[in-house]
Amino acid sequence: MIKIDLSVREAVDLAIYCPAEMREKIVAALESAIDGKEQYHVTITGGMTMNNRISCIKAVRQHTGWGLKEAKDWTDGMVGHWDVYGVWQKGYVNQISVRLKTTEAAENLLRDLKNAGCEGYLS
């Protein structure tokens, strides 16, 4: 990890012109600095399928405090879903991430998702 000192204005200006992944890191760093709390990301890189989707949704709901719709929408990004016309819409991302407020919650979510067959990491 590299520590860089930036003003809020410099960070916002940088975030405008950088790739989405970098923008997310800048926002997380700003939020962490404002809250004074560290936040942890769980990134799932594979293994989430229609076969384990329900157990993944349950794990996400348990550890994030999200409702059913939020957890389902999160998994839809990787797995895919049936649209209102009954047509299968393929997942639109290769990996998905969620930010949690404690190390314990992040570790527990990753453990439960790995037990369900997913692959991923903490950051």
pLDDT digits (tens, 9 = 90+) for 27-50: 777 766 666 556 688 999 999 988
Among 42-46, 91-95, 110-114, 116-120, which is the least confidently predicted range? 91-95
In angstroms, rounded to a whole number, what is the distance separating the alpha carbons of residues 62 and 67?
Answer: 9
Contact 114, 108 (CB under 8 A): no
The domain limits of the chain are: 1-37, 38-122
pTM surpassing 0.85? no
CB atoms inside a 10 Å sphere around CB 17: 8
Q: List, for residues 48-76, the tens digit of each pLDDT value.
A: 988 999 999 999 999 999 999 999 989 98
The CATH classification of domain 38-122, taken from the options 3.90.1150.10, 3.30.1390.10, 3.40.47.10, 2.60.120.10: 3.30.1390.10
In angstroms, rounded to a whole number, what is the distance separating the alpha carbons of residues 37 and 39?
Answer: 6
Concatenated DSSP letters of 48-102 = --TTTHHHHHHHHHHHH---HHHHHHHHHHHHEEE-TTS-EEE---S-EEEEESS
